[in-house]
Amino acid sequence: MPNIVALQELIALAARSPGTYYSSGFKVAACNALSFFEEITARGGTTTLKTTMETSPDNQANHWSEVNDFTQKSATGFDSEHMSAQTFGAFIRVKAVVGGAGSITFGLKLEKKESYE
């Protein structure tokens, strides 16, 4: 049962001002595990970043629910979160909320691990 690993950019590394940012929804129904990678390379003012993973059965606008999150960040650095298949549905996306004042440079990636028999 080989593992197929694919790294997908969810939100490109860029400077952003306070607001809410969403990635596109990605089909993960065949996955047995997901890893999320959050990178913050610069921060100005009092900005914070709160990233939440959301899942959906059908990738429709009002059918998303939170399943996991990163701790809120207020400094540069790198972090990762891992989820098993029991915790997510057919589609996954991330919501990133930038709070405070100023700007923050961040990006998010997803590693999908699929198994086929």
Which pLDDT tens digit goes with each residue over 15-42?
Answer: 999 999 999 998 888 888 899 999 999 9
Of 87, 109, 107, 80, the residue nearest 21 (C-alpha) = 107
Is the confidence at residue 112, as pLDDT, over 50? yes
Q: How far is CA 102 from CA 46, 61, 97, in A?
A: 6, 29, 13
Q: What domains can be seen in the chain, in order of their start residue?
A: 3-115 (2.60.120.660)
Rounded average pLDDT over 7-22? 95
Q: Taking the complete model, does pTM exceed 0.85, yes or no?
A: yes
What is the distance, to the nearest Å, from the Cα of residue 112 to the centroid of all Cα atoms in its chain?
12
Q: pLDDT tens digits, residue range 53-70?
A: 999 999 998 999 999 999
Of 15, 22, 9, the residue nearest 97 (C-alpha) = 22
What pLDDT was estimated at residue 115? 59
